[in-house]
Amino acid sequence: MVRASQHSDSTDMRVFLDFEKPIADLEGKIEELRHLSSEGDINIAEEVGKLQAKVERQLKQSYQKLTPWQKVQVARHPDRPHFKQVLAHLVEDFTPLAGDRSFGEDKAIIGGIGRFRGFSAVVIGNEKGGTTEERIAHNFGMAKPEGYRKARRLMEMADRFKLPVLTFVDTAGAYPGVGAEERGQAEAIARSIDACLSLQVPIIASIVGEGGSGGAVALAAANRVLMLEHAVYSVISPEGCASILWRDGDHARDAAEALRLTSDDLLKLGVIDEIIREPLGAAHRDQATALDALGDAVEANLRTLVGTEGGKLKADRRRKFLDMGKKGLA
């Protein structure tokens, strides 16, 4: 559940999550004071400063103790950076490459060639879309078989031309429709995972929002798996898990706890390699800072991998995933 607040001096609609209600109330008061100030000679700078300090304290307190279910809400926030923002902020001269050369194009996965901080690279990511029209066009980031076959085609091209692969994951999972199953969804995902594991060039995956099931792993079987602090990554959504275990979606909060889907838990389990800290109030409040941190982490990891012999990259990657599951949480 989210609640929206319309600022008096803006056409932008800011979305607040349920647990952010105290923050929404404070920011509403700040906007009211600013509106009053603009209509007269009242100096409200001191009062606004006090309220802004309260907002920052409330944000810090709220985001320091997020429950797994609240992290799921943050990961799904509509203002969180999507793949198009990642491309615009971090990649230069991006040339999209479309189609799987078999069935057609899938806009849920965007991929192509670009320049990332001086490196030529193949860049692939899930795009959920921002507006209602975009979400429908991109199928809410849920890829079909042709999307995964396109990703595999681009990864194989990267291998031929010795280009590193950068992937950015943000999907609730692969599309479960009848048509997708008829066109070989499971096989397409499996072959995409195999393509990741077979590369003899560096591949770095970043979980930026939701990482759901095999649809996420298909782009994330990488040498380095990075994860934004408030992203989530799991074998199934909390709602899906609750519907199976409890036959009741109302147990999604319990499922989120049990799934160990937060970045802190996944780092302890060895599923991811690094947590990228987000700005105060999460990435949706300061996209530029969050994307800068993401870019810095990807660059640092890429520089450690570039120049490594291809056979070693492949062997290390396979060993990394074979070792998963051997560690447990205390």
- Give a yes or no: residue 329 inside a domain: no
- Give a yes or no: residue 222 inside a domain: yes
Quote the CA–CA distance of 243 and 261 in Å, as a whole number: 17
Same domain for 266 and 195? Answer: yes
In terms of residue numbers, what domain contains 56?
2-65
Same domain for 195 and 300? Answer: yes
> Closest Cα to residue 83, out of 143, 127, 50, 121?
127
Same domain for 55 and 90? Answer: no
For 253, residues 6+ apart whose C-beta sits below 8 A from its C-beta are 67, 69, 238
CB atoms within 10 A of CB 62: 18
Identify whether the C-beta of residue 109 lies closer than 8 Å to the C-beta of residue 74: no
**Residue 68, pLDDT score:** 95
**Residue 204, pLDDT score:** 98
- Give a yes or no: residue 330 inside a domain: no
Same domain for 270 and 126? Answer: yes
Number of separate domains in the chain: 2
Compute mean pLDDT per 10 residues along the chain, 330 residues long, and list them: 44 73 75 64 67 77 88 94 96 96 94 97 96 94 96 97 98 94 95 96 97 93 97 93 90 93 93 95 93 97 96 95 74
pTM here is 0.88
Same domain for 48 and 82? Answer: no
**Residue 8, pLDDT score:** 39
- Give a yes or no: residue 328 inside a domain: no
- Give a yes or no: residue 267 inside a domain: yes
- Give a yes or no: residue 192 inside a domain: yes
**Residue 248, pLDDT score:** 86
**Residue 292, pLDDT score:** 97
What's the CATH number where 204 sits?
3.90.226.10
